[in-house]
Amino acid sequence: MDTMQQQPAITHNTSAVLVRSAAIVTLIGIPFMLLLMYCAWLPYWMGMYFFILDGLLMGGIWYRLAYKVRPAPARLVYATYFAALAVWIVGLGGIALADRQLERFKRNPANRGTTCREGLWRYSRHPNYFFEWIHWWSYAVAAVGAPFWWAPMLLPLVLLFFILKVTGIPPTEAQALASRGEDYRRYQRTTSAFVPWFPRDEGPSP
């Protein structure tokens, strides 16, 4: 008992400061970075570095808080973090696979002016966006049972709004229609916009 009492602990005031600081960086920084990437003022790879670093920041803070102040059995703590790690791996693995499949498709000169329907792109028009969104849920899973558990939940919800309505799918689809025309319209009629799903039969052209 004495040994447990001598262990350093994070107070709830400290945890509140850490969580609020991380939430502010995330909720302000991510929309700002997405805007810079959309306006072509920031290279895509630099934006992805920011997302990864921000994710590591959030994950590290939540791991620290959960280990010290989460009122949950050790087994539950470990279970949530293994679950979070699995979601994180699926998310980043899906992003890497989708990007590799698209890059391989683009390298073939015969595919110029056509739409990639290989691999994950057969089931979603934007699998890279989908798995990026999945990856951010890993931090929400890791926060289950911790103080201010709801804060990481805000990130994927805000990001989903930007992907579906602002800087993600709308401008990307507009550019695809302008460059690939009817081929992309057929792709839109048969393929899910975001969540991967089996292709639909192509209906009659409008």
pLDDT, mean of each 10-residue run, the chain (206 residues)? 43 51 56 55 55 58 53 67 86 89 93 94 96 87 73 83 89 93 95 96 62
pLDDT at 202: 72
pLDDT at 34: 56
Distance CA(95)–CA(134), nearest Å, equals 10
Cα 119–123–128 angle (5° rounding)?
75
How is the chain classified by DSSP, letter by letter? -HHHHHS----HHHHHHHHHHHHHHHHHHHHHHHHHHHTTSS-HHHHHHHHHHHHHHHHHHHHHHHHHH--S-HHHHHHHHHHHHHHHHHHHHHHHHHHHHHHHHHH-GGGTTS---SGGGGT-S-HHHHHHHHHHHHHHHHTTTSTTTTHHHHHHHHHHHIIIIISSHHHHHHHHHHHHTHHHHHHHHHS-SSS--PPPPP----
pLDDT at 178: 94
> Do residues 194 and 127 touch, judged by C-beta distance below 8 A?
no
Q: Note the pTM of the prediction, 2 decimals.
A: 0.69
pLDDT at 66: 52
Residue 141's identity, in one-letter code, is V
pLDDT at 102: 92
> Do residues 20 and 28 touch, judged by C-beta distance below 8 A?
no
pLDDT at 63: 55
